[in-house]
Amino acid sequence: MITENLLEVDDLRTTFQTPRGAVCAVDGVSLTLKPGETLGIVGESGSGKSVLGRTIMGLISNGPTTSVTGSVRIAGQDVHALSAKRRRKLWGPTVAMVFQDPMTSLNPVKKIGTHITEALRLHFSMGKTEARDRAIELLTQVGIPEPTRRMTQYPHELSGGMRQRVVIAMALCCGPDLLIADEPTTALDVTVQKQILDLLASLSQTLNMATILISHDLGAVEGRTDRVQVMYAGRVVESSGTGTVFAEPGHPYAEALLASIPRMEDKPHTLLRAIDGTPPDMISPPPGCRFAPRCQYAQDRCVQESPPLLDHVGSANPHLIACHYPLIVPAPGSAAAAARTLLEETR
């Protein structure tokens, strides 16, 4: 049985042991997702977006050099409490993933048809003919021309856009409840990017499939997601409805990301607005707000205390911000307003 929330992630932490020390790539992330809902996850390279997606999928788990704490529940099942065998049974029918680079996601010595039919035969015990017919239907569904001929080709014989469509067909072949799309348009030209994003949005609506869209392309996220979470240095610094974050960002990092987007109304040769500085060294992150060294609004408290992720609106549609001095005023009755009052009383 699927509960109201198809996906529930609670205080998730993913840590890697390296020769230099431990790296907490995902640090205390929580989120929920309902069937048919699309969540965008944005942030700079190295912010932990891809590691979060792979940990939710169950591809990263406890091992000699990795540690995962917190919980990930998909359709009521705790992914990391399952045995490896039972976890693999979730991959396909319950959760699937579209990886960044389609060329490395596909086996270069296997034909396109084999990539899709082997999953169908494994999960649904289909015969060769039935699986082949279903694979052709899927290739047609994702917009690949001459699907019967493509079945007999190898990945290197297809363009980048068609390889990405094949990866999407593989992810969708078992009708997953949750799709994690990790940078699905990386290295594709603008026209193909739009086609791929439109395809994912259409399939999500048609299949009532929950989707996590991981991207550094803010324009893609703005038009195709219901909610968005902004990540920085392994943590969520802002989370709300997509329209809210883009219209009224509350965290200085979110504001800086949006300001860096090129705009059509800008004059020719206008310099792009970059975010000064670099992300922190995750081996030894700063004790306070991790964005403080790059923040134009930072004060002494920001360097010393790590800000909690608090709701600033106090309604059914929360606007969560992790900032001591957010860009929006907390509404009366919100968690942030209560925290500010408590702080003033203890001073």
pLDDT by 10-residue block (mean), the chain, 347 residues = 79 96 96 95 93 95 93 93 89 90 85 93 90 93 91 92 89 91 80 82 87 89 93 96 94 94 83 89 93 95 94 88 93 83 67
The number of residues in the chain equals 347
Burial of 173 from C-beta contacts in 10 A (0-12 / 13-18 / 19+): buried
Which tokens belong to 336? 């942030």
pLDDT score at 343: 64
For residue 157, the 8-state DSSP code is G
**Pairing, β 235-241 against β 320-321:** antiparallel
CA-to-CA distance for 18 and 315, rounded, in angstroms? 42
What's the token pair of residue 199? 């395809």
The DSSP secondary-structure symbol of 57 reads: H
Work out the widest C-alpha separation in the chain, in whole angstroms. Answer: 74
Please tell me the distance from the alpha carbon of residue 138 to that of residue 168, in angstroms, as a whole number. 9
For residue 102, which phi and psi values (nearest 5 degrees)?
-65, -25
DSSP assignment letter at 208:
T
Structure tokens at 45: 């390279």
pTM of structure: 0.91
Nearest to 216 by CA among 206, 198, 231: 231
* Tally: H helices and E strands in the chain: 13, 12
* Predicted local confidence at residue 125, as pLDDT: 86
Residue 9: predicted pLDDT: 97
Q: Which pLDDT belongs to residue 2?
A: 47
Q: How far apart are CA 89 and CA 279, in angstroms?
A: 37
Over residues 22-78, the pLDDT tens digits come to 999 999 999 999 999 999 999 998 899 999 999 999 999 899 999 999 999 999 999
Question: All domains of the chain, ordered by start, with CATH?
Answer: 7-232 (3.40.50.300), 251-264+272-346 (no CATH)
pLDDT of residue 263: 81
Alpha-carbon separation of residue 340 from 173, 315, 319, 327, 344 (angstroms):
50, 18, 16, 14, 6
Euclidean distance between CA atoms 282 and 168, whole angstroms: 32
The C-alpha angle 52, 303, 282, rounded to 5 degrees, equals: 35
- 3-state SS of 232-277? ECCEEEEEEEHHHHHHCCCCHHHHHHHHCCCCCCCCCCCCCCCCCC
By C-alpha distance, which of 171, 148, 144, 169 is closest to 158? 144
DSSP 8-state assignment for residue 326: -
Q: 42 - beta bridge partners?
A: 230
Q: Hunting for tokens 């920085």 — which residue is that?
A: 232
- Angstrom CA distances, 71 to 75, 180, 193, stand at 13, 17, 33
Beta bridge partners of 96: 179
